[in-house]
Structure 1
Amino acid sequence: MKKCLLLFIGSLCMLLGLFFALVPGPSLIFFIAGLMCFSFYYPKARYYLALCQKALTKSCAFLDKKLAR
């Protein structure tokens, strides 16, 4: 039951992320939330979640450096 609920929430978040990728909205937040739900049961999703987290960390550090000038 718990696995079905997490998969449903993960799928819903991924669909919302795709929708908000087409129209203005917080698509990145929904993609990461969907990956987080999937990562409980799928190691490949955990890998992609780690990649997204590393990329966001690098981009935030880059923006902080550029905006600090």
Structure 2
Amino acid sequence: MKKILLVSLGILSMLLGLIFVIVPGPSLLFFIVGLLCFSFYYPLARRYLVYCQKALTKSCAYLDKKLAR
């Protein structure tokens, strides 16, 4: 039951992320939530989640450095 709930929540958030890619919205947040839900049961999703977290950390540090000037 828990797996069905997490996978359906992951699918829903991925679909919302795809919709928000087309219309303005927080698509990246929905993709990360979807990957988080999938990462409990699928190791490939866990690797993509770690990759997205590292990329987001680097891009935020870059923007902080540029905006601090």
Q: 3-state DSSP class of the match of 2:20?
A: helix
Matching residue's letter, 1:38: F
Alignment correspondent of 1:6? 6
Alignment correspondent of 2:34? 34
Aligned sequence identity (%): 75
**Aligned equivalents of 1:21, 1:32: Cα separation in 2:** 13
- Give me the TM-score of the superposition, normalised by structure 1: 0.99
**Aligned equivalents of 1:27, 1:12: Cα separation in 2:** 12
Alignment correspondent of 2:47? 47
Deviation at 1:31, TM superposition (A): 0.2
Instruction: Give the CA RMSD over aligned residues.
Output: 0.2
Equivalent pairs counted in the alignment come to: 69
Alignment correspondent of 1:60? 60
In the TM superposition, structure 1's runs of 4+ consecutive aligned residues that sit over 3 Å from their partners are: none
Deviation at 1:53, TM superposition (A): 0.2
Unaligned runs of 5+ in 1: none
Deviation at 1:42, TM superposition (A): 0.2
- Give me the TM-score of the superposition, normalised by structure 2: 0.99
